[in-house]
Amino acid sequence: MQASDVMSSPPPGLALLTTQSSLRAQAPPISAGPVDAAAIEDLVAGSRILADQGVLDASGHVSMRHPQNPNRYLMSRAQAPALVTAEDIMEFDLDSNPVDRRDREIFAERFIHGEIYKVRPDVRAVIHTHSPAVIPFGVTQVPLKPVHQSGGFLVAGVPIFEIRSAVPGQTGMLVRNAALGNALAEALADKAVVLMRGHGNAVVGPDLRTAVRRAVSTEVNARLLTIALQIGGPINYLSAEEAAAMEALAAATYSRAWELWKKKAMRSE
């Protein structure tokens, strides 16, 4: 008997098991249950704010871990961030399979979110942007270090994800599968931001509002550092002590900025 014959004729019991497991593989994940409207409102506001602040354009996405189940996350269907509403929010498992897809279009790069949630239990929100001012720092040798009081969290370091060497045979730029998402999560390591060469960044936080603040501040710091480099001469960066102090202050006074940004971003409602 050839090996191929064995493979094509499994015993009846094994055949049943194979059928059951392939059915299980195709079944969508089970929902972790309804989410508080205030949490969904924050998620929607986060998308709108990042669009309003010039961090997100027609693409890019914001997610939060499901409040009741760390193995699920919530993210908009594929939709321009400025147009996201509560009705667009979908639930995914950490393999980035939608719980209830219906006929909705989903983001090809959702694996950024699922794979970071898998390896960073401390992270409760993930943002992927094409934040324009950060791009030069992913394609040059100049490190993105804090030059402004809003960028204290950057003092821990900002790694660069090189997709070309992430997975053998890789030719595209998008993080469109779990292997690439995992490679990006490894590049992020324990940091708050990872730059994606020629593409954008991924920003994480212990909660949604903090992740939004970091995404805005990363863009602001990149813009200001670029200006400083153009003026020329040595750059006087924030010291580690200054960075820590300003990060604590930024966190403590942030509700003021959040309310302002949210009001501006939601004014078309």
End-to-end CA distance of the chain: 70
Out of 91, 105, 109, 247, which one is annotated catalytic?
Answer: 109
Active site residue 241: no
How many Å apart are CA 151 and CA 33, to the nearest integer?
36
Helix 240-252 to helix 254-265 angle (10° resolution) is 60
Spatial neighbors of 192 by CB under 8 A, at least 6 apart, are 153, 154, 156, 203, 204, 205, 214
Instruction: Report the alpha-carbon angle 35-41-44, nearest 5.
Output: 110
DSSP annotation of 233 reads: S
Long-range (24+ apart) CB contacts under 8 A made by 159-165 are 159/187, 159/188, 159/189, 159/191, 159/194, 159/195, 160/187, 160/194, 160/195, 160/196, 160/197, 161/187, 161/188, 161/194, 161/195, 161/196, 161/197, 161/202, 162/187, 162/197, 163/196, 163/197, 163/199, 164/197
Spatial neighbors of 113 by CB under 8 A, at least 6 apart, are 61, 63, 73, 75, 92, 96, 126, 128, 181
Active site residues: 109
